[in-house]
Every structure is written in structure tokens, then in C-alpha cells.
Homo-oligomer: A and B are copies of this chain.
């Protein structure tokens, strides 16, 4: 069976190891496994969202409301934008995919930072596009601009705060960068962790409504997978000028968000108190991670997200550390595949974090003997 030659060379995305897999591979009791690998909200989701889903379980036979009227109205109010400026996807991932398929054809290219969310280049490659990367661990906007002028890519991806490093650009720098880009180049601003950044430092928080009013070439992405604790339900959204939304809608598969996902996201959006508790707990526990790193002499990147990146150069090999933690039932993310000797740890609940510190201390102390 011959396929489009473009797909022959594609790599597939390696997601964080699910608990099920660790149970199967190592025979560890699921209750003893701590998953700090996928930047999930350790507090789960709003109890009101869970309650609403339980109350709607008997509606699973109904196709979803494909207009997504209720959720789009709620997002409209939340962001102060019109429904026509919104598209809801199966995770913001799907909006990235639609953007790639809408813009990338016939020898196109994208521009991104070297170490950033893996799906940009995966979806771009599916469209046969080439990927231009600005070097550096953080987004280097000057380097990105120079590469933009040199290569004239069809899409520029900016991840703020950045995954998997955790650093965040200032709003003013993001705005100046977007403004410098030609209006027919799509700028995708991935705000998956914006709730965290805006909480920690208002200078890192962006206002999608203000941005799209100024920039007709901007697509802002948000998600329910992180602060709202609904990673398993696959709900994200794009906010942009109506012309962009209309283009993406042409490629949107019908019923792309499930009946229960719409219920969960709608309820989650109403429970801002839950999100606040999440954010406070996250940054309070983040301090523990910073203190532990300093104590152990581990370099880390200041994080504006719900994870922290430990750089292990001169200390240990990141892949060996991940494997050793896995055998102890602790799942974190190895960043070797991104080209850095580092691990990314999701900030968990206090007890989960204590177990991580304990295991990590043992590993490093054994390694030094």
C-alpha cells in the first residue's frame, strides 16, 4: 500500500508514559505510582465539573451540540471576544493541526524556538513543511526575527510560557514581536500555561482580546488541560480574527469535542475559585522544588508554569535518572529528546513532591558515592 510520500519519514509523538504502561511494564501497584510527567493538575478538576459530568453520563448517546453554543458563549464572556472569534478543538493541539493544514502547502515552512512544544513540528511535517528553529533554550525573539526575515515562514509559533522549559516572555516583547511580523504570516501564540504565568507575574500575562483587536494575523491558543484540570477530556480553543477562524472551521471535523467534554469545560470555566487554589498550591510547592534544587546543586529554569525543568549537566544523565525514578514508580519527563540533559517535573501535591525529593536525593547520593 503506497501512501503520501510525506508521511514515510514522519516520527510519532512520544507522550508521557501513562500509569497503565508503568503498571504493565514494571508490575508496580497503581496506587504507588506518582505521575509527574504530563503537566496534569494534581488536584484534578473542579468538583463541580466532575459532578456535572456524572449527572450527564446518561447523555453519552447524543451527538455533541456541534455549534458548541454554551461553551462558546462562556468563553466569549470570559475573554471579551465574539463567538465568531472562537474555535474549540479537541485540545489546543487540534487547533495547531488545523492551522498547519490551512497554511502549509507546497514547500511551506514554520519557525519556532529550538526547544518548545513538540507538536508544532509534528503537525507541520505532516503537511510536508520544513521547520526552522531559532537556537537557544529560551525563546530568542531577536534570533527568531532574523530567521523570519531570512526564510519568510508561513507560520511562526511562540509558546508563552514555553513548554518544556517553563520560562516566559514578557507581554510587551511578545506584542512587539507580533507587530513586526507581516500580516499574511500566521503567528500562533500558545498560551496553554498562561493562567500560571499571569498569576505569578502580571507582566507575563497576555490579553487575547486586546491582541486580536490589534493583530489580524494572530491565533491565540488556550486549553482546559492544565489549570482547569481536564487533560483527559481534550478541550482547547483558538481566539483570532474572524477570517482566521473561518479558515480553520473549513477543516474542523464535526463533533470534534465530546458531549461530556463540553459539559466538563463549561462547568470548569465557572469555577474560578478552583483555579485560584490550584495556582496558589502550584507556586507554593514550586518553592520546594527550587529549594531542593539549590540544596542539591541542580540548575533549574525559573518557571511560570505547573512544572519545573532541572538541568542535570555535571550531575547525572537525564535518561538514567528518569529510568531510575520509573523503577521507583515516579514518572517524570526526560528532555534528552529535545537536545538537553534535563528532566521536566510536574509540580504535584505536597506528598507526591516529597516522594520525588526523597527518591531523587537517594539517586544522586548513590551516584556520588
Q: Interface on chain A toward B: helix, strand, loop, or mixed SS?
A: loop
Question: CB within 8 Å of B: which of A158-212?
Answer: 183-184, 186
- In the complex, 16 of the A-B residue pairs with CB atoms within 8 angstroms, ordered by the A residue number, are A1-B183, A1-B247, A3-B247, A7-B251, A15-B254, A16-B63, A18-B63, A20-B69, A21-B65, A35-B62, A41-B61, A44-B60, A50-B58, A53-B57, A93-B255, A232-B258
A sample of 18 more A-B contacts (CB under 8 A), given A1-B241, A234-B258, is A1-B217, A3-B250, A7-B247, A15-B63, A15-B66, A15-B254, A19-B62, A20-B65, A20-B67, A40-B61, A44-B61, A53-B60, A61-B232, A62-B232, A63-B231, A64-B232, A119-B254, A232-B260
Q: Which residue of B lies closest to A41 (CB)?
A: B61
CB atoms of B7 and A90 under 8 A apart = no
Chain A 257-278, CB-CB to B under 8 Å as 1, else 0, gives: 0111100100000000000000
Residue in A60, A186, A250 with the greatest tally of chain B CB atoms within 10 Å: A60
Out of B21, B90, B251, which one reaches A253, CB within 8 Å?
B90
Q: Hey, which chain B residues are within 8 Å of A66, CB to CB? A: 15, 18
| A15: min CB distance to chain B, Å | 5
- Chain A interface (Cβ < 8 Å from any Cβ of B): 1-4, 6-7, 10, 12-13, 15-16, 18-21, 24, 35, 38, 40-45, 49-51, 53-54, 57-67, 69-70, 90-91, 93-94, 97, 101-105, 119, 126, 183-184, 186, 216-217, 225, 229-234, 241, 243-244, 247, 249-256, 258-261, 264
CB atoms of A233 and B254 under 8 A apart = no
CA distance A27 to B94 in the complex (A): 34
CA distance A93 to B63 in the complex (A): 13
